[in-house]
Amino acid sequence: MSEILFSADNRSLIVSVKGYNSTMPGYLLFYLFSDLYTLAMNPIQQRPTDGLLPFSMTLVGTNGLLVTDPGPNGVLTMNYMPTNGTI
């Protein structure tokens, strides 16, 4: 794991998992919270488009995520849905 943060609305916990290379790329894990704020046992795994080694994340607004990646694309920007873990 590289970084862990809460979504802007505190409905999910987002974890960046840095990959190893192009055959083992990194991904993001979204652990959703229930209405009672209990953490889901199983995360939703999402692989950012064009991302190989995501490691640093910054929230942008309510549903924006800026992810740095030392791979060829450098910086990834994406929108996410904290209620279902889609990017």
Per-residue pLDDT of the chain (87 residues; tens, 9 = 90+): 789 999 998 889 999 998 887 788 889 999 999 888 899 999 999 988 777 788 889 999 888 898 888 877 777 788 888 777 777
User: Three-class SS string for 8-54?
Assistant: CCCCEEEEEECCCECCECCEEEEEEECCCCCECCCCEEECCCCCCCC
The pTM of this model reads 0.84
